[in-house]
A and B are shown apart, each in its own frame.
Chain A
Amino acid sequence: MRKLTLAIAVIAPMLGHAASAEDTVKIGYIDPLSGGGASVGEGGLKTFQYLADELNAKGGILGHKIEILPLDNKTNPQESLVQAQKAIDAGAHYVTQGNGSSVGAALEDFVTKHNTRNPGKEVLYFNYAAVDPSLTNEKCSFWHFRWDASSDIKMEALTNYMKDVPSIKKVYLINQDYSFGQSVRSDARKMLGAKRPDVQIVGDELHPLLKVTDFSPYIAKIKASGADSVVTGNWGQDFALLLKAAADAGLKVNWYTYYAGGAGGPTAIKQTGLDHQVFQISEGIPNSGNQAAMDFEKAFRAKVNLSLWYPRAVNEMHMFKAAAEKANSIDPVKVAAALEDMKFEVLDGGQGIMRKDDHQFFQPIYISSFGKLAANEPFDEENTGWGWHIVSRVDTPQAMVSTTCKMTRP
């Protein structure tokens, strides 16, 4: 009898714990919180925590509170899998990650295998920034959803803009040496070659990912090549330091970038004095002119003291809530089914759609330039007094690309 009481005494709290764990929706946030990617990783974490607080204040998702579990993957695919397992062990059925397509590919594979081996304990992977096209093409998985535009969509839009700028004659490509950087490089070569055969590619550089601390040798090379424009997919410190070195050397070219707005980027641009010479492609900017988005931006900045760098994270979390409500469940399989072909009004205005074929979200895309602000553009970046200004908008139908994905469904 005593033994039985003891067993109950031991087991009962565990059952109780399991029940309460089911009450909160835990989302494992697996991104770099140390090393070269830390600045972007910490910004992302603050964004997701803000979004979780925002949803919780309105009653959470179907009455469940949302909790973000911060897990440091050091931008390392192997480490990410350890962290994903940690998230699952802590009771998370959702993981979200963005920085590094190499990490994205590893996580997608991990989640897919995990779900095959553990039916009934499925985990969904919400990708908010790993943009290697292969994740929704040859490697596509039912358990992966991507809210960021993939690299080929971005390059399509960027080159459509570049083809109408006659001053571009010599282009230099500099990218990080891993799957994403390589896809930017090959897409740029292919698309620029097709749309502007007269443009000369005078340099094509791949450098180690998040390892370079001084870009001045690369800048000297860009300078020597006589390029008038640089195309780069660099993010995090790889962009900030690249621009910092350019500022030091006084390199004056036009920059066509994916991620110029990341931490340190705006400061370096201002320092170089490149007024509206740095272009960025994104799914939204602070000065989008959309009132709801600008109100959100204002509230976000007031609380987090950062500019909203991930409008797609807002779309992700709000859409997660909408999908769970549509399915009337927080069960990952039902949420996944509800997300497929779901239409959604995105933060910066316009309708987006989560395509069923490959789980890629399609949305309006903006090209913006960084420089002095107009009267109706209230938001600057990093206290530089300069901010983003929309130069071109691509609507959802024009931002769609085909896929080779053959998805296996459970």
Chain B
Amino acid sequence: MLELIVISTLNGVLFGMLLFLLSSGLTVIFSMMGVLNFAHASFYMLGAFFGFQLTKWIGFWPALVLAPLLVGAIGMAVERYGLRNTHKHGHVAELLLTFGLAFAIEEIVSMIWGKSPLDYRVPALLDFPAFTIFSTNYPAYKIFMLAVSVIIFVALLIVLKRTRVGLIVQAALTHPHMVGHLGHNVGRVFMAVFGVGSALAALAGVIAGPALVTQSDMAASLGPILFVVIVFGGLGSLPGAFIASLVIGLVQTFAVALDGSLASAFGPLDPSSGPSVLTDVWNVTIAQVAPIVPYVLLVLILIVRPMGLMGTRET
């Protein structure tokens, strides 16, 4: 049991940190522009596919740096030539732009790389068990993923809280006009933040690609969870996104590990009543409902605390 708890905690924290890499960019972009970027998970997918391709050409380590830079540049271009132009037509236009972009990216990716999963392998350097706890091996690559996520988290925190750049970004989030009057180029700040957010998503893609599955529906399958994370954490709040990512990661992992059902809590139903919808509900285990648990959390938080855990405004 202890083994299960330790392993599940590790897996949960890892998944949570990966979610944070993605949601950090998304939530900052949201607080800046007031618009949810539907294409954010697509940048994650682009990261994974670029990572795969560059790994094939020049190896994993250069790809780890280059792929996020490339996707960051694409993100900046999207902001500069797409969002900035649609901004004057209001939020709906911006929302539709990112929405369309998500579909376009998915189609382009499946045109280039096909629709089946790619053979994106863990680099040989990291393909060994890092340590063994109670006879279970823990892969070194997962430790590497965890390390990268933690480093990025710390770096992000330092940049935002301790540097002049962070100060300007934070000011631009809440008082863009004042920042503009003080002589800063707010447009360029937005573009840079959008670029960095996309690059972070891509970085998550590059490192998650070999561990999870790299295929053209990976954005669509992860996108909804991201929205849960940022709404749960509070739109626009970085610490909120961090806590929410870890909570969702842990909840999803532990839900799988639990076998409890109504039947095990209150005993089986009288068999003479025969199979019915009730017996199905009665016997369903927490593990079986694990995939919907995050969405249940989303509904609950919207009812109880609509601004999210650390958010300051109503969603």
Contact = CB atoms under 8 A, between A and B. Distances in A.
B139 interface: yes
A164 to B, nearest CB: 29
Interface string B180-223: 00000000000000000000000000000001110111100100
A218 B287 CA distance: 9
A220 B256 CA distance: 10
Q: Assign chain A's interface to a size class.
A: 20 to 34
A177 B11 contact: no
B4 A221 contact: yes
A213 B45 CA distance: 14
A217 B253 contact: yes
Contacts of B137: 248-250
A237 B212 CA distance: 11
Interface stretch (B73-81, B110-118, B147-155, B305-313): B110-118
B245 interface: no
Contacts of B4: 220-221, 223-224
Interface in A321-361: none
A221 B254 CA distance: 10
Interface in A164-218: 177, 203, 205-208, 211, 213-214, 216-218
Interface in A238-253: 241, 248-251
Task: Categorize the interface residue count of chain B.
Answer: 35 or more
B237 interface: no
A203 to B, nearest CB: 8
A41 to B, nearest CB: 8
Contact of B3 (A38, A72, A220, A241): A220
B11 A217 contact: yes
Interface of B: 1, 3-4, 7-8, 11, 15, 110, 115-117, 129, 132, 135-139, 142, 211-213, 215-218, 221, 253, 256-257, 259, 285, 287-288, 291
25 contacts: A34-B217, A36-B217, A38-B117, A42-B115, A72-B115, A206-B288, A207-B256, A207-B287, A207-B288, A213-B213, A213-B218, A214-B11, A214-B211, A217-B8, A217-B11, A217-B257, A218-B256, A220-B3, A220-B11, A220-B257, A221-B4, A223-B135, A224-B1, A248-B139, A250-B137
Interface of A: 33-36, 38-39, 42, 72, 177, 203, 205-208, 211, 213-214, 216-218, 220-221, 223-224, 237, 241, 248-251, 264
Top 6 A-B residue pairs of the complex, sorted by shortest distance between their CB atoms:
A250-B137, A34-B115, A38-B116, A217-B256, A224-B4, A220-B7
